[in-house]
Structures are given as structure tokens and as C-alpha cells.
Amino acid sequence: MTTYDIREVLPGVFRIPVPLEGNPLKELNSYLFLGSRETGRRNLLVDTGFRTEGCKKALLEGLAQLGVSMEDTDILLTHLHADHSGNAPELIRPGGKVYISREDYRFMDGTLQEHRSERFRENGIAEDLLQAMLACTPSRTMAAPLSFRDYTLLEEGDMIPAGRYMLRAIWTPGHTPGHFCFEVCGTGAMLLGDHVLFDITPNITDWWDVPDSLGDYLRSLDKIAAYPVTLPLPGHREAGDTKLRISQLKEHHKKRLADCLRIVRELQHDPVKKPCLYDITGCMKWKIHCNGWDDFPPAQRWFALGECFAHLDHLKQEGLVREVHGETGVHYESVEK
């Protein structure tokens, strides 16, 4: 059995690293709150990794290393993304609870990709590229099975028992519509999921019935900045200074919005390219080792196009661009003020 680098981050709370093979995120930070004999509370496992044998094996061996069984363990999901929720149905045992936000639960019925695909088609994304992206996106290949619906749904402010602690649910929409952070009450610790990551930038994409997911995300950053977090517990990689990182993330998106608007304005006068989703995304700056936009792996193009959508949607809400529907599909124009 593999020995994992499990760390005790608070008394009775352990970080279990879950390898995400072949994924640039590298690994998931899953957190285990040990049950309390004094209160009779069960263990609580926060986030579960992809629905793969590798993730399942790593979690079960990590739990065994701590002397914990899933028979006595509930699961808390910070959000719906497959690297956080995919394994929950595989791990939960009869009588156990799987908590997730009510808002994210709405998107776990299998229609999310259908709505995204339709918007991509409207924006001129070629069908062969669309199918290549769908074939490898984790939301289709490594997500929890649609047949599992036995979730316990959470609302803003709900309290969840976690070993010797209580967690308070804080709604932080943006990364997903129902993303939650969780305050570990009375400790200064906070489970951040993918809301604040410290050496990578959370992907902000469009959602089919959310007008401005980036605007939601920026407001959620301000919401968490108001908390005195002394022990941040992110979903990936290492932690850092929460307030500083929030400031950096806001500045990152400010620059990306300015870049996106500049690209729209320039492409309006380009004789070859058009201010359409594909060309705007291809002109944006991305940290990836590729020869160019057309060489991006399909999965990375899926994320990049979605992120471009989120920035265009925010510029639309700010009245800086407009979406134009023509005979050849959708394109974008700047609105001069």
C-alpha cells in the first residue's frame, strides 16, 4: 500500500493528497475531519477526486492510513466539478450523507454540456472540434454518474457537523453557480474549494442560465476578503496569504478584461480574423506549452473558450461590448462610451 504525505492541518483535521493523473492540476486536496466520540459525530470527508480507480484507491488508502472507514464517514462537496465530486457515489456507504449546494445540484442532471454545446454552435465552433472537446472533458468522462441523486442539499448559512468542529456554508458563486466555501467556526480556518487558489488561477466559465459568472466571482472574492482567515485550506496546491491572493486574482481579471476588450476592438478592423468567440480566445494570452491556439489540446480549448465567454459576458453586463447575431453566427462589437 502506498504511503501518502498526509498532514494534520488542525487538531483532528487531515489533508489527504489525491493524485489527478494526466491533469495539469496535479492533485486534489481532500480533507478528513475525524469523528468525535464525545459527541458521537461521524467522520467528514471534503471532496473526493475524479471518478477513476486511481483517485478512489488513493483516497481509500489515505483513509486507511488514518484508521478511518467509509462506513463511518459522510462526504461534503465544495462544488460540482468532477475532480471534487466524481468519486462521491463510489465511496459513500449506506446511511452516509453526501452534501452539495442546492444550486450546483441543478447542474448535475446531464444537461450542462448540452447547453454549452448549443452556445458554442451559435458562436461558430466547428462540430468536429466540439465533439473532440466533449470526448475528453472531465465533466463527461470522470464525473459522478447521473443515476446517483441521493444528495443532501445545502443553503447559505447551513451548519454542518465535522468531527469536533462545526462548518458554516458560505455561498461563493463564480467558479460554479453553487460553489461553497466553509468556515471552520471558531478556528480562523476556511475550506476554500476552488474559489481561492494560490499559485494557479481558478477557471471562470459561462453557465447556461447565469448572466455574468465573472461578476459573481469578483463579488464572491470580496465576500471572502471580509473574513479573518488565518488558515486557508484550498482545493489544490499549497496555501498562502488569502487577502493578498484575492487582490491578485481581482487584478488578474481586470487585466484580462482589458485585454479582451482590446482584442474585440482590434478584430473589428482585421481583414482576416473576426471578433468571434474562437478568434478572440485565440488572441488572448494563456499559460500553456503549445505552438499556438490551433495546437491547444481539445480539453484545454474547452476551458479557454468558456473562460473567454465569461469575460465577454462581463463586458456585456458593463455595457462595453454587444453580442451581434448575424447570418454567419454570433460576433462581438465594442460599444464606445
H helix intervals, 241-325? 242-267, 277-283, 298-317
DSSP structure class, residue 203: P
Instruction: State the average pLDDT over residues 232-250.
Output: 98
Q: Which of 188, 212, 240 is the last residue of a domain?
A: 240
Co-location of 179 and 201 in the same domain = yes
What band does 328 get if pLDDT is binned at 50, 70 and 90? confident
129 assigned to some structural domain: no
Same domain (yes/no): 283, 224: no
pLDDT for res 1: 64
Give the 3-state secondary structure of residue 225: helix
| Residue of 206, 312, 195 whose CA lies nearest to 265 | 312
The per-residue pLDDT for 183 is: 98
For residue 184, pLDDT over 70 is answered with yes
Question: Is residue 193 one of the residues assigned to a domain?
Answer: yes
> Rounded to two decimals, what is the model's pTM?
0.96
Q: What is the DSSP string of 70-81?
A: GGGEEEE-SS--
Q: Does 37 have pLDDT greater than 80?
A: no
Domain of 143: which CATH number?
3.60.15.10
**Cα–Cα distance for residue pair 188/29, rounded to 1 Å:** 19
Taking 70 as the threshold, does the pLDDT of residue 133 lie above it? yes
- Overall domain count for the chain: 2
**205 and 114 inside one domain:** yes
Q: How confident is the model at residue 281 (pLDDT cuts 50, 70, 90)?
A: very high
Neighbours of 245 (CB within 10 A): 20
Cα 204 from Cα 174, distance rounded (Å): 6
Q: Are residues 42 and 77 in the same domain?
A: yes
Considering only the C-alpha atoms of the chain, give the largest distance between any 2 of them, rounded to a whole number of Å: 72
The answer on 277 and 219 residing in a single domain is no
Exposure string for 155-167, b = 16+ CB within 10 A, e = fewer: eeebebbbbbbbb
Q: What is the mean pLDDT of the chain?
A: 95
Q: What pLDDT score was predicted for residue 114?
A: 86
Q: Is the pLDDT of residue 82 over 80?
A: yes
156: which DSSP letter? T
Give the C-alpha separation, 292 to 86, whole Å: 32
Tell me, rounded to whole angstroms, the distance of Cα 155 from its chain centroid. Answer: 18
Q: Is 176 left (phi over 0), alpha (psi -120 to 50) or beta?
A: beta
Q: What pLDDT is recorded for position 22?
A: 84
Does residue 155 lie within any of the structural domains?
A: yes
Which of 240, 271, 305 is the endpoint of a domain?
240
Instruction: Look at the alpha carbons of 292, 295, 300, 306 in this order and tell me if their dihedral is positive or negative.
Output: positive
Cell reading at 296 = 491547444
Cα–Cα nearest to 224, from 202, 251, 245: 245
Both 17 and 99 in one domain: the answer is yes
Residues 79 and 97 both lie in one domain: yes
DSSP per position, 105-128: HTT-SS-HHHHHHHHHHHTT--HH
- Cell readout for 263 is 482584442
Q: Of 205, 240, 275, which marks where a domain is finished?
A: 240
Question: Domain limits at 64?
Answer: 7-122+137-240
CATH of the domain at 296: 1.10.10
- Give percent of the chain with pLDDT exceeding 70: 99
Residue 104 in contact with residue 81, Cβ under 8 Å?
A: no
- pLDDT (0 to 100) of residue 329: 84
Same domain for 254 and 291, yes or no, is: yes
Q: Which single residue is written with the C-alpha cell 474585440?
A: 264
pLDDT at 227: 98
